[in-house]
A = this chain, B = another copy of it.
Amino acid sequence: MNRDNLTKMTKLEVVVTGADAPAVHDLFRSCGATGFTSLSGVSGLGHHGYHQGRLLFNQQATLELLITVVPDDKADALLAGLTALFEETAGVMFLTDTYVSRADYFS
């Protein structure tokens, strides 16, 4: 397909407990993310449970999946902030290359 009108960005997906979600929202904002999408009704198991007898989340926890899309130049700060946050609290994150049509919405 024709990607001339698309801009490559970084999509960050973060899974945290509902209690920790506001800290992630604040981090998104302070790192210059212009918005995010939040999904409730999320449960999770692991990542650690099966192999090391230690659960990152237990199956009863109320979790949130938070998705934001940022230009590459903001992704480093966001990644550093999340890494620091996850030293104190449970959470997982994935980064994926994604393309958007209206880069100004995310910059």
Residues of A within 8 A of B (CB): 1-2, 5-6, 9-11, 15, 25, 29, 32-51, 56-57, 63, 65, 69, 72-73, 75-76, 79, 82-83, 86, 92-102, 105-106
Complex CA distance for A22 and B6, rounded to whole angstroms: 25
Complex CA distance for A39 and B57, rounded to whole angstroms: 15
For this chain, the copies found in one complex come to 3
| Contact for A50 among B35, B45, B46, CB less than 8 A | B35
A-B contact pairs, 20 of them (CB 8 A): A1-B73, A1-B79, A34-B50, A35-B45, A35-B49, A35-B50, A35-B56, A36-B45, A37-B44, A37-B65, A38-B43, A39-B42, A40-B43, A47-B105, A69-B92, A93-B101, A94-B98, A95-B99, A95-B100, A96-B97
